[in-house]
Amino acid sequence: MVDFTDERKHIHELANHLTIIQGAVKKVLRNIDEKKLALPEEQDRLMKADDYIKRSIEALRGLRAGLHEKIAAYEEEV
């Protein structure tokens, strides 16, 4: 049997990152729509969103590599 505990943890982490990104982007868009721009604050929100995007991409790459390893190990057993 293949254990996917690590993958579940990574998926949970990615979901959290994406939720943070979504909230930051929605806030910037709402401020643009309402013309309440505070450019340094908006820039900070977008920079944080970019940081979470980068972390999510790295986590996805790690998850993909881990899955490939588990699949290869499983195929060798079978």
- Local confidence pLDDT in tens for the 78 residues of the chain: 677 788 888 888 888 888 888 888 888 888 887 877 667 887 788 888 888 888 888 888 888 888 888 888 888 887
**Total of domains in the chain:** 1
How far is the C-alpha of 59 from the C-alpha of 23, rounded, in Å? 20
| Chain centre distance of CA 3 | 22
pTM of the model: 0.62
What b-and-e string marks burial along 47-63, b requiring 16 or more CB atoms within 10 Å of the CB? eebeebeeebeebeeeb
> Domain of 57?
5-77
CB 59 within 8 A of CB 14: yes
Q: Report the C-alpha gap between 43 and 10 in whole angstroms.
A: 28
